[in-house]
Amino acid sequence: MICNDGVLSFPMTRPKIKTALVIVLVSIGLIFAGFSAFALSRLSDINQNTADIAANWMPSLAFAKDADNAFTDLRVAWRNHVIASTTERMDRAESDAADAKLRLTKALSDYDSLSPTQDELQTTRKIRDELAKFDQLIEPLKVASAAHDDAAAEQIILGDMEPIRTRVDEALAKLIDFNTKGEETS
């Protein structure tokens, strides 16, 4: 320690090459370790997000889209019943409607099995309630269709069923939107 005019100063000596080399290598090692820890942390986050998407969002979205497609097929089948001119085509339309209804019910049950939120459960309950109302209109529609009473069939499809269709479509769109947004954020 040297004292010049009341100021303390420390003499600087060059570190030995061996000491300098150890310091540089340890610094490089610490930098690599820091980057490695950061990279592993990010990979863990990506893995968790991927697992969440694969286990929850993708199946939920697929079931919601399946339900939407099945509901569309159900409506098309009953419209085909109305325009059918033969008993065979009416029977085919009824069979198509039964298949679509079965697919719709299965898609909703599968969706509920994935432990959805309370809001999602409420939405699927609403869809089921609306489908029960829809089902009540099927028998009058079949009678009007079999009698080739186009005016009555039109009233049932475009008048009575239309509000039900709108509410079911909105509820299904809500499920699809919820799962699409959830998938995007994960």
Q: What is the pLDDT of residues 39-80, one digit of tens each?
A: 898 888 877 867 766 666 788 888 999 999 999 999 999 999
Residue 112 maps to a domain: yes
Residue 29 maps to a domain: no
Distance CA 171, CA 173 (A): 5
Residue 7 maps to a domain: no
* CATH value at residue 167: 1.20.120.1730
Domain that holds residue 109: 56-185
Residue 40 maps to a domain: no
Distance CA 115, CA 124 (A): 12
For 87-134, what is each residue's pLDDT tens digit? 999 999 999 999 999 999 999 999 999 877 899 999 999 999 999 999
